[in-house]
């Protein structure tokens, strides 16, 4: 026997309609929430994009500002190729306007060369940037590691002895005028803690100057190494940066310097810049206001100097691969006398 439904058909239809209406309302509410969430997410994404764009713009602006401060030597249609100038015998050479970076004359100026003790200009700069004028009178003890480093590598020395208490100013002048390897080593340890860390600091400065593609240092002395290289143009950039530093400029421009009195050297040690004293005797127009020479077999005699003409114009000259020490002097004179105003 089949049972008949106790719920009237009409009532059943009403219940179904109510359920359908409730379902529609619930779906509508959920859809509205999803749309709102999507809008919020999109808004957040747009906001993030704006923030990223702002950050990138700021970083780009800072980078462009930093790059604009870099001294960049550049050639133009006025640059003279001195390859055929018999007065200039160095294989690598460049003369740069120190004010605007214009290359006045050149000869293999962007070719790889080994800078020898011109390296010490960068050594001086990196050390000096971690010092100030007040620290120059502080005493530093010369270590056996410093003197051994100089001796083992057959380097020129300032003449400081193990245990000698010298001032930081003595040390810096010992790096440049007598080209002392023990002074360079001791300055590296003093300012960076280890030789390796100091060399890292040298190469960070190379990057900062914008010359990392063509210059790299492996030691603070200029000892020959395939990874201790530069170009004539890059060395001009390094000297320009050094001459902007007050401490470096004072050291690089000194003709003579006598160290403070110590137990080992009661009268001090007198250093002399052979290059500056020689060029002073041979060239009387204007003045060479800073210089550093170098020598290793692979680069022969080389030099970098800054000259201020009688018209108060400044120039930087770099030469490398000269056969004699005096030839670097004559080459620099030829540049300053024939190509400067």
- Would the annotation count 292 as a binding residue? yes
Q: What DSSP character marks residue 323?
A: S
pLDDT at 20: 61
Please state whether the predicted TM-score (pTM) of the whole model is above 0.95. Answer: no
pLDDT at 70: 84
Q: What DSSP character marks residue 140?
A: E
Whether residue 308 contacts residue 289, with contact meaning beta carbons closer than 8 Å, is answered with: yes
Whether residue 301 contacts residue 323, with contact meaning beta carbons closer than 8 Å, is answered with: yes
Kindly list the averaged pLDDT for each block of 10 residues, start to end, along the chain of length 341: 45 58 57 48 39 38 50 92 95 97 97 98 98 95 98 96 98 98 98 98 98 98 97 98 98 98 97 97 95 96 97 97 97 97 92
What are the angstrom distances between the C-alpha of 114 and each of 22, 154, 157, 293, 304? 86, 17, 20, 12, 13
Rounded-to-integer distance, Cα 253 and Cα 242, Å: 11
Measured over the CA atoms of residue 161, residue 164, residue 169 and residue 170, the dihedral's sign is: negative
**Positions marked catalytic:** 117, 120, 179
What domains can be seen in the chain, in order of their start residue? 80-339 (3.40.710.10)
Rounded-to-integer distance, Cα 339 and Cα 315, Å: 10
pLDDT at 27: 56
pLDDT at 63: 39
């Amino acid at each position: 026997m089949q049972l008949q439904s106790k719920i009237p058909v009409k009532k059943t239809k009403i219940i179904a309609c109510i359920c359908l209406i409730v379902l529609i309302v619930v779906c509508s509410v959920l859809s509205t929430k999803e749309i709102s969430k999507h809008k919020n997410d999109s808004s957040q994404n747009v906001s993030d994009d704006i923030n990223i764009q702002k950050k990138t713009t700021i970083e780009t602006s800072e980078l462009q500002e930093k790059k604009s401060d870099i001294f960049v030597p550049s050639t133009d249609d006025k640059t003279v190729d001195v390859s055929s100038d018999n007065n200039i015998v160095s294989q690598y050479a460049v003369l740069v306007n120190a004010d605007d970076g214009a290359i006045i004359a050149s000869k293999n100026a962007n070719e790889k060369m080994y800078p020898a003790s011109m390296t010490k200009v960068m050594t001086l700069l990196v050390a000096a940037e971690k010092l100030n004028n007040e620290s120059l009178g502080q005493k530093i003890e010369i270590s056996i590691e410093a003197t051994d480093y100089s001796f083992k590598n057959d380097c020129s020395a300032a003449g400081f002895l193990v245990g000698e208490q010298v001032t930081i100013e003595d040390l810096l002048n010992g790096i440049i005028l007598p080209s002392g390897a023990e002074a360079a080593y001791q300055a590296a340890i003093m300012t960076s803690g280890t030789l390796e860390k100091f060399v890292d600091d040298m190469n960070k400065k190379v990057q900062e100057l914008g010359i990392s593609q063509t210059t790299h240092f492996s030691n603070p002395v200029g000892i020959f190494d395939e990874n201790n290289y530069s170009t004539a143009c890059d060395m001009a950039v390094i000297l320009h940066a050094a001459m902007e530093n007050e401490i470096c400029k004072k050291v690089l421009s000194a003709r003579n310097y006598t160290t403070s009195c110590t137990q080992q050297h009661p009268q001090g040690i007198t250093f002399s810049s052979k290059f500056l004293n020689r060029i002073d005797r041979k060239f009387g127009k204007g003045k060479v206001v800073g210089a550093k020479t170098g020598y290793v077999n692979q680069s022969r005699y080389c030099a970098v100097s800054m000259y201020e003409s009688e018209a108060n114009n400044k120039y930087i000259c770099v030469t490398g691969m000269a056969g004699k020490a005096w030839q670097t002097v004559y080459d620099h004179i030829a540049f300053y006398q024939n190509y400067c105003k």
